Amino acid sequence: MWLPSDDPQHIIRGNLKISHVPEIGYVKILEGGNESLLLIKNQKIIAAWNLNIETLAETRENKALNLVSISPESRIEIYKLDDKMFSTIVDLNEECKLPLPAEIEFLLEKVEETNREEILSKYKLRDPSEDDIDNLLNDYKSKIGGG
Task: Please tell me the predicted confidence (pLDDT) of residue 129.
Answer: 79
Residue 86 neighbours by CB under 8 Å, 6+ apart: 24, 25, 39, 41
Contact assessment for residue 49 and residue 93, using Cβ atoms and an 8 Å cutoff: yes
pLDDT at residue 97, rounded to an integer? 94
33 Ramachandran zone, left/alpha/beta (phi>0; psi -120 to 50): alpha
Residue ranges per structural domain of the chain: 9-113, 114-147
* pLDDT, block means (10 residues), the chain with 147 residues: 63 63 88 91 93 92 89 83 90 92 76 60 72 84 74
Which one, of 29, 109, 35, lies nearest residue 76 by Cα?
29
- Amino acid 9: pLDDT: 58
| The pLDDT of residue 126 | 74
Claim: this prediction has a pTM higher than 0.85: no
147 by DSSP, 3-state: which? Answer: coil
CB 87 within 8 A of CB 40: no
The DSSP symbol for 72 reads T
CB contact at 8 A, 1 and 96: yes
